[in-house]
Amino acid sequence: MNLYVMLNIGMMLVMIYYLYRLQSQYMKFTRRVFIALGLGAAYGLILHFIYGTGSQTIASSIEYFDIVGRGYVQLLRMIVTPLVMVSIITAILKLKGGQSLGKISGVSIGVLLLTVAIAGLIGIAVSLLFGLSAEGLTAGARELARAEMLTDRLGTAEQLSVASMLVDVIPANPFQDMAGLRSTSIISVVIFSAFIGLAGLGIHKKKPEQGELFDKAMEVAHSVVMRMVTVVLRLTPYGVLALMTKVMATSNFDDILNLINFVLASYVAILLMFIVHLLLVGLMGGNPLTFVKKVIPVLTFAFTSRSSAGTIPLTVQTQTQSLGVPEGIANFAASFGATIGQNGCAGIYPAMLAVMIAPTVGINPMDISFIFTLIATIVVGSFGVAGVGGGATFAALIVLSSLNLPVALAGLLISIEPLIDMGRTALNVNGAITSGFVTSRLLGEADMEIYNSSQELEMDLEAIS
């Protein structure tokens, strides 16, 4: 470790200590997250300016920053499975019937599929508005390697069908899914937890005494898990600081400038879809400004971490603590939203790529039949993101291969992929939260007193005392 790396690490430790001081002074959680975001962006830019793109000093420094950044993301992933399991089981036990369970899951998935279709239409419109095309792009070594990789993975995408995707989510080995060993693990855990909850309801009818014991055991497990969630979420500002520093320090700004038109178009589409979410919230009786204020902390983390699955604990807590969404609905919406109908990864991105690539094979992207087929493929293919993993890349492969479009051209955007993926992930998470709120309102379960209050997501110090 050279002197410069030690200085960089020392500066990071100073900023971490500063955030700790703010926490000990009871500064609001949201404010601390924003301060961490600003510090990380500024420090990352300084490192990039001093050492330059591809610096070994930056790479060595990031290895140590990742202890905080990636370490925090892994802690979040650690609590995802127990959080989803105990929350869904206890929610079903409180429902005292399976009918509400079907309504919750059906409405949640329905909202996600509706919004991903709208996201696809927005992606098409913005691509046409900006005149995006793959015809003028040039490929370097990284882009060619990426194109070859996409072509190799094409076979897997072509073998997918709706039936196989649905079969894949059925948990043949629940312990394997609890360990997160499959791309469908989150949904499979939801299904397994639902079976446990329904079984618990059955015990209540036949053996009431044992049913009461099971209820109490789940209440204790729920309390323990929620305390663990609180402990981990208090680390959010530190994780945001390290993750944002890494993003800014390692970005290739030359490549971003070369493809700035696609970057701008992507973020215009993402912003428009955020507005659609707010319109849905408004139609359901929620104040859009209140919604924005309360979801900003979780979207900030989603933006910096680029992990929809890792954001699930924050997504659930934001819905229950700040938006008045019941815990059962919040968990279903967060779990489904991390894997199905992702507005950014499965909606906007594949639509934009298809419109860009279509002219290279003589297809008019403004043809109504092409647009209709594209949207239908996006909606069906959004299940494939959960079925095979790989996020936006595999969603794009499913859509492009289904439309017989060349997938290799998608590799030309590899240099700006991380930058765009940040916005896409934040949109995915916002879509999941919107789904939870809309579902709770449609089913008459939302607590609007919590929604309209000034209560925000807070990780109180007393919570772990």
The DSSP line for 277-305 is: HHHHHHHTT--HHHHHHHHHHHHHHHHHH
| CA pseudo-torsion sign 208, 212, 214, 215 | positive
Query: How many domains does the chain fold into?
Result: 1
Distance CA 14, CA 73 (A): 21
**What's the pLDDT at 388?**
43
Around Cβ 287, how many Cβ atoms within 10 Å?
14
Q: Which residues contact 409 (CB under 8 A, 6 or more apart)?
A: 134, 137, 147, 353, 356, 357, 360
**Which is nearest to 354 in space by CA: 416, 398, 391?**
398
Tens digits of pLDDT across the chain (465 residues):
789 999 999 999 999 999 999 999 988 888 898 899 999 999 999 999 999 878 899 999 999 999 999 999 899 888 888 988 888 888 888 765 555 778 888 899 999 999 999 999 999 999 999 988 776 554 444 444 454 555 555 555 555 555 666 677 788 888 888 877 776 678 888 889 889 988 888 888 888 888 889 989 988 998 898 889 888 888 999 999 999 999 888 877 766 776 788 889 999 999 999 999 999 999 999 999 999 999 999 999 899 888 888 888 889 999 999 999 998 899 889 888 887 888 998 899 999 999 988 888 888 989 999 999 999 989 987 875 654 445 677 778 778 887 888 776 666 666 677 788 889 999 999 999 999 999 999 999 999 999 998 766 665 444 433
**What's the pLDDT at 460?**
47
**Which is nearest to 350 in space by CA: 426, 410, 440?**
410
Rg from Cα positions in the chain: 22
The DSSP line for 133-150 is: -STT----HHHHHHHHHH
CB 303 within 8 A of CB 423: yes
Residues in the chain: 465
**What's the pLDDT at 96?**
56
Query: Whole domain around residue 216: which residue ranges?
Result: 3-464
**What's the pLDDT at 385?**
63
Q: What spatial distance separates the first Cα and last Cα of the chain, rounded to whole Å?
A: 38
CATH for 440: 1.10.3860.10
**What's the pLDDT at 113?**
93
pTM attached to this predicted model? 0.82
Q: Where are the alpha helices (DSSP H) in 25-161?
A: 29-51, 56-95, 99-130, 141-158
| CA pseudo-torsion sign 218, 223, 228, 232 | positive
Q: Which residues contact 204 (CB under 8 A, 6 or more apart)?
A: 96, 211, 212, 215
Distance CA 106, CA 443 (A): 11
